């Protein structure tokens, strides 16, 4: 069995372009009913924290396994990451564990890639302005992925409650993407007149949402990585389409108290990727796509990391 530490996974350095392509194919397979992925069960040991088990099998990729992942929003006070966990890959023909790997990098990258896949089908592809609310890990990977899928992006309006976080984000992402990144002082400044919106704060059971419907320009595409933490009732109800990466999982979270303002789910992203439902149908539609995070995303990313690690002699072989 191959053990891949966080440093090992980072050293493999799977390109974002490859992750986006893999997730696009995985969503198509999901839309065709060719994956196995039960709703993720979880335990909750602290307010607004979670520890989830995320199993999935994607036969066309030869990928099967489970991610055991946690998210603790107060970890920053202990200088620890918000997201932590391990991922186990199994041989789909024998069930034998192939690899155990850290999942921090995988979770960060595949979440950005999922936003890019959603944008491919739901955004205006000539969009040039993006508002990013939350200048942490997801604010970075979502921008990286969107820049790949939407080459005309040129301006970023970045907002964070921490000025230091916003400054660090702007400096790093200017250098990485070459985009014009402006720090703004309010959520409204980040949202108004933006073609694309990414909200990437912590997931909160009792949030204090800010974004109003009348802040959203016609044709906007919004990706709330943090569930409904930023968007008010008027924003959810006013948009023409609400899409999610998994209908059943979204309804489950609704039963737990999230997404209370969602009355209709237009489509599962897999349905759109597979062509059974249209995505964006005109330039003026305001569309929100809530990617809740799927185990298929993790497995198709992890199997590519595993194969590249084996090819490049990265990691440590352990006996079971």
What's 69's domain CATH number?
3.30.1780.10
Taking 90 as the threshold, does the pLDDT of residue 158 lie above it? Answer: yes
Claim to verify: residue 144 and residue 230 sit in the same structural domain: yes
Tell me, yes or no, whether 114 lies in a domain: no
Claim to verify: residue 82 and residue 135 sit in the same structural domain: no
Taking 90 as the threshold, does the pLDDT of residue 159 lie above it? Answer: yes
Domain count, the chain: 2
Provide the pLDDT for residue 259. 86
How far apart (Å, rounded) are the C-alpha atoms in residues 55 and 38? 7
What number is the average pLDDT over the span 256-261? 85
Q: Express the helix, strand and coil content of the chain in percent, nearest 5 each.
A: 40, 25, 40
Claim to verify: residue 63 and residue 204 sit in the same structural domain: no
Tell me, yes or no, whether 79 lies in a domain: yes
Provide the pLDDT for residue 228. 87
- SS3 assignment for 251-292: HHHHHCCCCCCCCCCCEEHHHHHCCCCCCCCCCCCCEEEECC
Query: How confident is residue 205, by pLDDT bands cut at 50, 70 and 90?
Result: confident
Please report, for the domain that includes residue 219, its CATH number: 3.40.50.720
Claim to verify: residue 188 and residue 280 sit in the same structural domain: yes
Claim to verify: residue 128 and residue 160 sit in the same structural domain: yes
Provide the pLDDT for residue 203. 81
The percentage of residues in the chain with a pLDDT greater than 90, rounded to a whole number, is: 89
Supply the residues annotated as catalytic.
67
Higher-pLDDT residue of 39, 134: 134
Tell me, yes or no, whether 199 lies in a domain: yes
Instruction: Note the pLDDT tens digit of each residue in 162-189.
Output: 999 999 999 999 999 999 999 999 999 9
Q: Give the residue numbers spanning the domain of 128.
A: 123-293
Provide the pLDDT for residue 50. 93
Tokens of 60: 């066309």
Provide the pLDDT for residue 258. 85
Claim to verify: residue 175 and residue 259 sit in the same structural domain: yes
Tell me, yes or no, whether 312 lies in a domain: yes
Taking 90 as the threshold, does the pLDDT of residue 262 lie above it? Answer: no
Alpha carbons within 13 A on the beta-carbon side of 213: 12
C-alpha closest to that of 220 among 242, 195, 191: 195
Provide the pLDDT for residue 261. 86
Q: What angle do CA 131, 137, 140 make, to 5 degrees?
A: 45
Claim to verify: residue 187 and residue 269 sit in the same structural domain: yes
Query: How confident is residue 257, by pLDDT bands cut at 50, 70 and 90?
Result: confident
The percentage of residues in the chain with a pLDDT greater than 70, rounded to a whole number, is: 100
Taking 90 as the threshold, does the pLDDT of residue 239 lie above it? Answer: yes
Claim to verify: residue 160 and residue 147 sit in the same structural domain: yes
How far apart (Å, rounded) are the C-alpha atoms in residues 319 and 294? 30
Q: Which of 119-128, 169-178, 196-205, 262-271 shows the lowest per-residue confidence on average (mean pLDDT)? A: 196-205
Contacts of 160 (CB under 8 A, 6+ apart): 133, 134, 135, 136, 139, 166, 169
Tell me, yes or no, whether 59 lies in a domain: yes
Higher-pLDDT residue of 205, 244: 244
Query: How confident is residue 260, by pLDDT bands cut at 50, 70 and 90?
Result: confident
Claim to verify: residue 148 and residue 281 sit in the same structural domain: yes
What number is the average pLDDT over the span 186-213? 93
Claim to verify: residue 178 and residue 224 sit in the same structural domain: yes
Claim to verify: residue 229 and residue 161 sit in the same structural domain: yes
**What's the pTM value of the predicted model, to 2 decimals?**
0.94
Claim to verify: residue 159 and residue 255 sit in the same structural domain: yes
């Amino acid at each position: 069995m191959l053990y891949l530490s966080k440093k090992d996974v980072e050293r493999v350095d799977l390109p974002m372009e490859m992750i986006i392509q893999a997730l696009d194919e995985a969503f198509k397979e999901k839309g065709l009913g060719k994956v196995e992925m039960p709703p993720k069960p979880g335990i909750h040991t602290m307010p607004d924290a979670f520890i989830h088990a995320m199993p999935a099998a994607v036969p066309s990729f030869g990928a099967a396994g489970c991610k055991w992942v946690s998210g603790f929003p107060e970890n920053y006070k202990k200088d620890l990451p918000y997201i932590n966990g391990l991922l186990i890959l199994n041989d789909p023909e024998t069930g034998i564990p192939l690899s155990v790997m850290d999942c921090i990098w995988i979770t960060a990258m595949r979440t950005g890639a999922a936003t890019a896949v959603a944008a491919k089908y739901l955004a205006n592809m000539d969009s040039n302005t993006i508002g990013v609310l939350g200048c942490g890990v997801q604010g970075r990977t979502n921008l990286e992925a969107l820049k790949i899928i939407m080459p005309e992006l040129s301006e970023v309006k970045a907002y964070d409650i921490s000025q230091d976080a916003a400054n660090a984000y702007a400096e790093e992402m200017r250098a990485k993407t070459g985009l014009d990144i402006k720090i703004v002082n309010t959520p409204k400044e980040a949202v108004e007149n933006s073609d694309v919106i990414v909200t990437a704060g912590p997931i909160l059971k009792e949030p204090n949402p800010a974004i109003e419907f009348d802040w959203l320009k016609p044709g906007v595409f919004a990706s709330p990585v943090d569930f409904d933490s930023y968007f008010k009732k008027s924003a959810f109800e006013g948009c023409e389409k609400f899409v999610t990466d998994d209908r059943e999982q979204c309804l489950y979270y609704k039963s737990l108290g999230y997404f209370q303002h969602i009355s209709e789910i237009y489509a599962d992203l897999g349905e759109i990727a597979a062509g059974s439902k249209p995505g964006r149908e005109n330039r003026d539609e305001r569309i929100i796509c809530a990617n809740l995070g799927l185990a298929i995303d993790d497995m198709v990313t992890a199997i590519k990391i595993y194969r590249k690690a084996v090819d490049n002699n990265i990691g440590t072989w352990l006996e079971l």
